[in-house]
Amino acid sequence: MIPVIELKREYRAVRDEISRAIRRVLEKSWFVLGEEVEAFEKEFAGYIGRSYAVGVNSGTDALFLALKALGIGDGDEVITVSNTTTPTALAIVHTGAVPVFVDIEPDTLLLDITQIRKSITKSTRAILPVHLFGNPVDMAPLLEIGKAKRGTESTSQLNIYPVCCFLPPLNILCYCLFGHI
């Protein structure tokens, strides 16, 4: 049988580093927030090219908080992709907004960007693409759609909040469940 996801191989490649990190946390016995989380937030912000990153309890809350920070709520629509997990839709619904689903591309299984324009209405406030199966969504055409909707030439006029859900089979290797904004 060919496994869909091969986590053991990934683990073997970083085993010593992971063991050292786990030992360090156990020795400090500081399991919630603290120096390790702060160090990770700094390192992760640098990795994604941002000034700040904040760890939260779950990917669902990371999505919800990012949407709230954008002021999204009752009567708004958020475009997302139909093959995402329920937390994406739940985070949108939890703000009071309505998720509007766009289908996927058959080759990449990622959001079909060509379908987004048809789904934009007066109530559209955000596009929530999901990077899955190790494949990133091509952000350049999405930014063009955002700029056209906002009536601006500049990407700096757009609010872009990278949200990361950490779960072992997702895009970044990890050994826990949490979220990052």
Ligand X SMILES: Cc1ncc(COP(=O)(O)O)c(C=O)c1O
Residue numbers of the site for ligand X (CB under 6 A)?
A: 58-60, 84-85, 87-88, 130, 165, 167, 170, 177, 179
Closer residue to ligand X (CB): 6 or 27: 6
Minimum distance of ligand X from residue 46's CB (angstroms): 23
Which DSSP symbol is given to 74? T
Distances (CA, A) of 63 to 91, 160, 170: 6, 12, 15
CB of 153: closest distance to ligand X in angstroms? Answer: 31
- And the tokens for 61? 């809350």
Structure tokens at 54: 């904040």
C-alpha angle 148-153-154 in degrees, rounded to nearest 5: 115
Minimum distance of ligand X from residue 178's CB (angstroms): 6
Task: Give the nearer residue to ligand X in terms of CB position, either 116 or 178.
Answer: 178
Name the residue nearer to ligand X (CB basis): 119 or 171: 171
Do the Cβ atoms of 76 and 97 come closer than 8 Å? Answer: yes
* Residue (139 or 149) nearer to ligand X, CB: 139
CB of 61 to ligand X, least distance (A): 7
Residue nearest to ligand X (CB): 59
3-state SS class at 157: helix
- Cβ-based neighbours of 93, under 8 Å, separated by 6 or more: 99
